Chain A
């Protein structure tokens, strides 16, 4: 059956949405119909394209904080201990390397034993690296996925797959899909925020979804005075009252034009967008300003301390945004690409990462937010059991570790396993598509039903794959 376009389609809602060929409204309508509440929801959606929407089924999590460890953290040194690898260190790798992977510097494929000690933590006794002692205290909340799989050993491609599910095409990122599927709780803020994302705008792009679902980049977390936290958010050269006066002039003239037109939803939309922009200009710096936080909280995240200051600020800001109702918050920590000197490199990165992440878990829990916030930690792939450049490790997408916490997942468990050397996932495999399916499921969305019509066919975050990992759901 072909759906008719809702009669309200000439309204502001229609042009607020990106709709290449008029399919957008069809898809939205279809989505709402699936929710069994088309009429009701069309009315509320008309209020704002970001208005909250009812999920497909009762959710376990309301929001996501994704701690993106860019570069590919070494799973066998952090979460996936391999006694045989330790024993065989310096020996020959018992695998034949696929031709393409024997790349530069891998002529000497000797095993490199774990560069960190491991201990059991918590009641669950999760076995974790000594480099992450504070995270270890949260072992009983962690759900460690030890058999992650991706499809490319190439940074930009794998990073894109992790964010969008797709290796090559320009498709929406997972935060955009969540924003599209669920809307957001706070209409004063963007639904999807990414904190210090670095390069790669495509990874938080809404692609063909309406532009409003694009990730908003926070470019500064208060450590660089003078820098605007969101692009073009403020203008420090012009006094506030002058800016307000200028805005009033714009609004006066635009309203005058609107009066002539009697009613025009599109022109009204522009007027409202200026008002919202002015509110964001006032509200966002306040939200980003960490000064209102107590000393104890700042200390908890390691803010004001050498290795943890920056990432601590990012994590604390993530909590503030999650608390304020932002649907998807991403925090990026780059530098895990240890091709050489992995023992020292990993130690440095862990020193930056351990306290802020542990602090975030503590803080979220004490505020009762962990329960309905899914926290996800991990990189685009893991690393090889054999040495590169003598004391580093190459990329490995065949098996690696990520972890989840809160938001309806079981704590204190590991799921899946790699082989004896940590090279290939062999049991309980979780492909990136499965990770996405599971994430959507925890937020109450069926990954096969969250679709958007684009160029004549429905698109999904998981494309034609993806399986919910039910074993890890509490």
Chain B
């Protein structure tokens, strides 16, 4: 039966309905349903045609049918192909006969008996949403096999299927397996020996506890977390926009894992750490850094449509939390109610309201770039006196710079070809220089900008105001920084400032004003309302309002004030490019602004006279000195500046937000109250307090005992990492179209233990899994089991797995003896010269130049800088071996086998170099016996001794490489042959895979 509905409305005659069912319904079904029905899962343009209400409401373009008026019905217009952009069906015009049928039907008043279908799937049916119940541990026939409950659950199913678990793995295999799984590293020869020599029944347990307690545990498991949370050390889609502080979040996660921070607390801190109470500065820092979880992500910071950027960031945050903790694709509900799962669009926007009330990126302009939110961290206690000492150094350096800069400016002015910076000097001296009398120069100033937004005042620019004696020497100088141009309409807002100088009685003085950064190509600032006074006496005043504007040059960027160059400024002599720059503040009020002139003008200046040459030499010296002082000031300021973290915070006014119709942020609909998924009714919903985003309540809801999803999804993730595949193999998706759990009771058992007995301890859960007998099975073939259960869903053997990409790199470095044990801290090497480009003076953000510092280049992969793109260059090995894209949420990595991997293992410089180091290491550690050396090679790579056959094969290889050579050549060739042997072993399956 095609239509489930019943006739509605008495006006629909039986005849009309019969006509509809017989003639019209087949046309709609055959021609329209593929894009406009619930059956197809598509509602293009928002339109569905499988119910009466579908066409009554219509789509984007409004109601599609006006009963009784075919000519006024959009549907009829579309099928006639009248408008080039509105033709339906898009592929082919309907036959005229069918169009005529539709017209006739609409002319009849469009009788249509179909009722809207219920769309939301019934959450009662989705297994993952059912409450978790303590399952009974099944009894099994072979009672001597099981060591813990996990084994009982698995064995019961195997016995049902008539299968038996594989034999126990040998001790080398087991040690290699557990060491890689828990730490991502191979066991060392010493660790192998210790385990073999420990014959007590608790030997394996001791190994497990040692590994769980090692720092390498966090270094490895952090990647499982980052595969879900899209970590990278750099930002933006081109992958190299500088964000300095991502590493703090990386180190936070590693420390949390190593400390076995309970997972519920771990979740609360990362989603809402800033909203949790802290005992002290150290804890406050940690809680702020934790929210890097939300701040770090694949944001398209240069998206110039900022509403879109915000909506996309929020969407990714919802998607991330939805998949990571709930196994739900909530993002699907951004544009429409979820097609399969019980997630209405309203739920999506209830969550969106929480994240729209959270500041993740911000845009200050000018240019198109947004920035990720950085939050200053509270200072840890500095050593007593340290701060004061630093301030003293800063003051002294600043004072020295003032003096030098004044002299420098003076010298530059003596060389006409040296600068194109604007300078205004008073034409006549003023009587403001009585010996020992204190004078005040007050003025108003603001940052400034030209028509071109790049020529603006930045934080390093400022105004230089000098008091010149009659002979041109400097009595006093002052530098004033009005701050960076904000790029807003009010940026040219003038603020009062003043400084003082003491007279020396050498006669009248003149004022000289210029930019303090001549040659930078930017602006030093704008100045107005200048007054020189001593006590009550006003000795000079200028409001700069008698200005004679020059040629109109254009509108100031952002403010749209008129700006002029070449203006006449009464009382003052102008120098520099176009003499004087002026901004018209309106109503006859002008301010003068100071362009810094073009870059490099002093170095390229051509002094003419001897005096000019002398001045030039001295000025070059001074410039260098000033630059040195500048970098010193920058360094001191950097020490003074608080540490920053990439983190989020609540917006100033957190609030509920609207549904975006069809996901379009420009089409806001009705407001939805902030909240959580309605499909999880049992979870307690804490009220979101006034003035708060609701992140804390969201975090609490995720881990609430009434929420069955989070513990199930997380327990399944742990299982996936230990046993290779999840009990639910679609680890990120527990929805209607996801996979069913292979062992539902076992999953619930694990989920309950995680949340209950283990109090969310990751290490306890992992420990229980690896201490099961199932984990210790061998990876052995079994034809009967393969036939019965080809995918090993019942876990009759331990699956063989390739080492993860980063484990492969770390294992190669470990074998070659090159692995640097260093951990933590920044990894971008920003202290290296030229490793940052585009700092200051640019509307684009600074970028990283890609120099990996020596200090991290041989560390474990987690400490290597990760760009936000498929890793290349030094980290090419990662992309080659299925490392996920840093912008993708990847709970289960693919494991591919392609020829590029073989090419990498055969020819990549990294493998070649490490093979040589490995051969050198072996020659040193086993200098004598070559057979013992082969054994050690095996211990270092495949982590077991070489058997006789392997030793013979390797010896034959070495001999073959050197056989035809003369005696002297043979020695060198033998060394090289060892490198080749080591290189080959790195391509052995026994190395690349763990059993």
Which of B729, B897, B912 touches A21 (beta carbons < 8 Å)? B729
How many Å lie between the Cα of A243 and that of B780 in the bound state?
32
A456 contacts B738, CB within 8 Å? yes
Which of A9, A17, A252, A257 touches B990 (beta carbons < 8 Å)? A257
Which of B340, B452, B737, B894 touches A18 (beta carbons < 8 Å)? B894
Find chain B residues with CB under 8 A from A237 CB: 912
- Known: A273-B899, A280-B903, A427-B84. Is A253-B735 also a contact (CB below 8 A)? no
Q: How many inter-chain residue pairs (CB < 8 Å) link A and B?
A: 217
B949 at the interface (CB under 8 A from A): yes
Which of B302, B876, B906, B993 touches A243 (beta carbons < 8 Å)? B906
A201 contacts B896, CB within 8 Å? no
Which of A19, A208, A246 touches B984 (beta carbons < 8 Å)? A246
A119 at the interface (CB under 8 A from B): no
Min C-beta distance of B849 to chain A, whole Å: 14
Min C-beta distance of B42 to chain A, whole Å: 8
B989 contacts A170, CB within 8 Å? no
B888 at the interface (CB under 8 A from A): yes
Find chain B residues with CB under 8 A from A427 CB: 84
Which of B90, B238, B732 touches A455 (beta carbons < 8 Å)? B732
Which of A18, A233, A249 touches B896 (beta carbons < 8 Å)? A18
- Across the interface, name the chain B residue whose C-beta is closest to A465: B44
- Across the interface, name the chain B residue whose C-beta is closest to A14: B791
Chain B 320-331 interface mask (CB, 8 Å, partner A; 1/0) = 000100000100
How many Å lie between the Cα of A230 and that of B902 in the bound state?
13
* Chain B 436-465 residues near chain A, CB threshold 8 A: 451-454
- Most A CB contacts (10 A, CB to CB) among B91, B888, B894, B897 go to B897
Which of B44, B303, B892 touches A168 (beta carbons < 8 Å)? B303
Min C-beta distance of B306 to chain A, whole Å: 10
- Across the interface, name the chain B residue whose C-beta is closest to A280: B899
Question: How many chain-B residues does the 8 Å CB contact rule pick out?
Answer: 91
Chain-B contact segment, one of A60-68, A152-160, A302-310: A152-160
* Chain A 41-100 residues near chain B, CB threshold 8 A: 100
Find chain A residues with CB under 8 A from B367 CB: 104
- Most A CB contacts (10 A, CB to CB) among B872, B892, B894 go to B894
- Known: A22-B729, A455-B329. Is A154-B302 also a contact (CB below 8 A)? yes
A457 contacts B329, CB within 8 Å? yes
- Across the interface, name the chain A residue whose C-beta is closest to B780: A261
A249 contacts B790, CB within 8 Å? no
How many Å lie between the Cα of A16 and that of B882 in the bound state?
12
Find chain A residues with CB under 8 A from B984 CB: 246-247, 249-250, 253
How many Å lie between the Cα of A7 and that of B790 in the bound state?
8
A22 contacts B896, CB within 8 Å? no
Find chain A residues with CB under 8 A from B91 CB: 468
- Across the interface, name the chain A residue whose C-beta is closest to B454: A104
A233 contacts B903, CB within 8 Å? yes
Chain-B contact segment, one of A262-270, A342-350, A371-379, A405-413: A262-270
A293 at the interface (CB under 8 A from B): no
Min C-beta distance of A204 to chain B, whole Å: 10
How many Å lie between the Cα of A170 and that of B300 in the bound state?
12
Which of B300, B872, B987 touches A274 (beta carbons < 8 Å)? B987
How many Å lie between the Cα of A201 and that of B950 in the bound state?
41
B906 contacts A249, CB within 8 Å? no
How many Å lie between the Cα of A78 and that of B901 in the bound state?
44
Which of A104, A273, A455 touches B733 (beta carbons < 8 Å)? A455
- Most A CB contacts (10 A, CB to CB) among B312, B453, B899, B904 go to B899
Find chain B residues with CB under 8 A from A211 CB: 882, 894, 896, 898
How many Å lie between the Cα of A51 and that of B300 in the bound state?
37
A39 at the interface (CB under 8 A from B): no
- Known: A19-B894, A20-B892, A254-B989. Is A170-B887 also a contact (CB below 8 A)? yes
A104 contacts B897, CB within 8 Å? no
A245 at the interface (CB under 8 A from B): yes
Min C-beta distance of B450 to chain A, whole Å: 10
B431 at the interface (CB under 8 A from A): no
How many Å lie between the Cα of A235 and that of B904 in the bound state?
10
- Across the interface, name the chain A residue whose C-beta is closest to B889: A455
Chain-A contact segment, one of B593-601, B746-754, B953-961: B953-961
A207 at the interface (CB under 8 A from B): yes
Find chain A residues with CB under 8 A from B989 CB: 253-254, 257-258, 267, 270
How many Å lie between the Cα of A259 and that of B338 in the bound state?
50
How many Å lie between the Cα of A258 and that of B800 in the bound state?
13
Find chain A residues with CB under 8 A from B887 CB: 169-170
A250 contacts B897, CB within 8 Å? no
How many Å lie between the Cα of A273 and that of B961 in the bound state?
24
B872 contacts A201, CB within 8 Å? yes
B300 contacts A15, CB within 8 Å? no
* Chain A 213-250 residues near chain B, CB threshold 8 A: 216, 228, 230-235, 237-238, 242-243, 245-247, 249-250
A232 contacts B888, CB within 8 Å? no
Min C-beta distance of A241 to chain B, whole Å: 10
Find chain A residues with CB under 8 A from B894 CB: 17-20, 210-211
A37 at the interface (CB under 8 A from B): no
- Known: A263-B781, A269-B897, A456-B735. Is A256-B949 also a contact (CB below 8 A)? yes
How many Å lie between the Cα of A270 and that of B803 in the bound state?
14
B555 at the interface (CB under 8 A from A): yes
Which of B735, B876, B980 touches A231 (beta carbons < 8 Å)? B876
B988 at the interface (CB under 8 A from A): yes
B870 at the interface (CB under 8 A from A): yes
B896 contacts A157, CB within 8 Å? no
Find chain B residues with CB under 8 A from A264 CB: 781, 800
B735 contacts A266, CB within 8 Å? no
Chain A 402-432 interface mask (CB, 8 Å, partner B; 1/0) = 0000000000000000000000000111000
- Across the interface, name the chain B residue whose C-beta is closest to A243: B906
B892 contacts A277, CB within 8 Å? no
Chain B 962-995 interface mask (CB, 8 Å, partner A; 1/0) = 0000000000000000001101100111101100
Find chain A residues with CB under 8 A from B918 CB: none
B988 contacts A156, CB within 8 Å? no
A202 at the interface (CB under 8 A from B): yes
B912 contacts A235, CB within 8 Å? yes
A232 contacts B896, CB within 8 Å? no
A107 contacts B885, CB within 8 Å? no
How many Å lie between the Cα of A277 and that of B888 in the bound state?
29
- Across the interface, name the chain A residue whose C-beta is closest to B870: A201
B209 at the interface (CB under 8 A from A): no
Min C-beta distance of B163 to chain A, whole Å: 15
Min C-beta distance of B660 to chain A, whole Å: 15
- Known: A168-B312, A245-B960, A455-B323. Is A212-B843 also a contact (CB below 8 A)? no
9 cross-chain pairs, A with B, having the tightest CB-CB distances, nearest first = A277-B902, A21-B730, A18-B894, A10-B790, A269-B897, A235-B907, A276-B899, A232-B907, A250-B987
Can you sample 25 A-B contacts with CB below 8 Å? Answer: A5-B791, A7-B790, A9-B791, A21-B738, A21-B739, A104-B367, A157-B237, A157-B303, A170-B887, A170-B888, A200-B238, A232-B904, A232-B908, A233-B903, A235-B912, A245-B957, A247-B906, A252-B953, A263-B781, A264-B800, A266-B800, A270-B897, A270-B902, A276-B899, A278-B902
Query: A interface vs B, CB < 8 Å?
Result: 2, 5, 7, 9-10, 12, 15-23, 100, 103-105, 107, 153-154, 156-157, 160, 167-170, 199-202, 205, 207-208, 210-212, 216, 228, 230-235, 237-238, 242-243, 245-247, 249-250, 252-254, 256-258, 261-264, 266-267, 269-270, 273-274, 276-278, 280-281, 427-429, 455-457, 464, 467-468
Known: A232-B908, A257-B988, A456-B329. 14 other contacts (CB 8 A): A16-B896, A100-B368, A167-B300, A202-B237, A211-B882, A232-B900, A232-B906, A245-B980, A247-B906, A261-B780, A266-B897, A270-B897, A456-B332, A456-B737
Query: B interface vs A, CB < 8 Å?
Result: 44, 84-85, 90-91, 237-238, 298, 300, 302-305, 312, 323, 329, 332, 339-341, 367-368, 451-454, 554-555, 729-733, 735, 737-739, 780-781, 783, 786, 790-792, 800, 843, 869-870, 872, 876, 882, 885, 887-904, 906-908, 912, 949-950, 953-954, 957, 960-961, 980-981, 983-984, 987-990, 992-993
